[in-house]
Amino acid sequence: MITIALSKGRIFDETLPMLEAAGVRPAENPETSRKLILSTNRDDVRLVIVRASDTPTYVQYGAAEIGIAGKDVLLEHGGEGLYQPLDLGIAKCRLMVAVRKGFDYRKAIQQGARLRVATKYMYTAREHFAAKGVHVDLIKLYGSMELAPLVGLADAIVDLVSTGGTLKANNLEAVEEIRAISSRLIVNQAALKLKGDVVQPLLDAFSAAVSRG
Ligand code: ATP
Ligand code: MG
């Protein structure tokens, strides 16, 4: 049995056509079913529905052989025990620094100010600002980062941006890109060796689906 871990919402929606191309069709829709384990048309493949940020953990420990996770999540996780053989080019967005409109980010940095930055990406944010030599106090949040600069919790946020609509609606602006983000296929390192006969054809099918666009 091969278990594929993925999260509901955009990752599931955008992965579905690639699963289909790989000959895997879930028996149920996770948006309406409350089941966390979904069987498929193939009796050797099942899906498990996990929180997006938990996907690498399931694959790292071999509870799932394969997973699909955002690069943002993989950077925070660290990637231990995982191969990341394929960029699926889905769930594309950018990890950005954003501030309240009118806050002079460049000037604050030039002056060597200590910035308060709210984010759920503690590791990636720390690396980014350290590489730039910017002093920061990071404040861990779990969601709605956009609120933090508006109520004086932080000077800046590090968050994912796609259209910029949420920033705009909250009078914020992106001032720096940290990196482009998309979702990756991840594979448990031991599983590729031990179950390569089933895992490798699935990887090849995903890879072909990506090439076709
Ligand atoms: P949760 O909602 O459970 O806190 P999450 O916000 O990380 O978790 P999703 O919103 O489903 O879960 O995001 C899953 C992945 O999709 C993220 O890790 C990221 O890589 C990508 N993503 C997040 N927001 C966007 C967006 N606005 N546009 C495109 N891709 C996005
Ligand atoms: Mg989300």
Q: Is the pTM of this model over 0.85?
A: yes
The full DSSP string for 115-179 is EEEEES-HHHHHHHHHHHT--EEEEE-SS-TTHHHHTTS-SEEEEEESSSHHHHHTTEEEEEEEE
User: Quick one: which atom of ligand 1 is closest to the CA of 73?
Assistant: 18
Mean pLDDT along residues 39-48: 97
Domain ranges of the chain: 2-91+182-212, 93-181
Nearest CA to ligand 1 atom 18: 70
Q: Which of 202, 209, 182, 199 is nearest to 75 (CA)?
A: 182
93-181 shares the fold of 2-91+182-212: yes
* pLDDT value, residue 213: 79
DSSP state of 1: -
Pocket test for ligand 1, best of 120, 146, 179, 181 (most atoms within 8 A of CB): 181
Determine the average pLDDT of the residues in 11-18.
96
| Contact assessment for residue 66 and residue 187, using Cβ atoms and an 8 Å cutoff | yes
The CATH architecture assigned to 2-91+182-212 reads 3-Layer(aba) Sandwich (3.40)
Q: pLDDT-derived band of residue 21, with 50, 70 and 90 as boundaries?
A: very high
Nearest to 58, CA basis, from 188, 199, 211:
188
Query: H-helix or E-strand containing 193?
Result: helix 189-194
Q: What is the CATH number of domain 93-181?
A: 3.40.190.10
Which residues sit opposite 3 in a β-bridge? Answer: 46
Helix (H, G, I), strand (E, B) or coil at 67: strand
129-183 pLDDT, tens digit each:
999 999 999 999 999 999 999 999 999 999 999 999 999 999 999 999 999 999 9
Spell out which residues line ligand 1, taking CB within 6 angstroms.
7, 9-11, 51-53, 70, 72-73, 91-93, 143, 160, 162, 181, 183
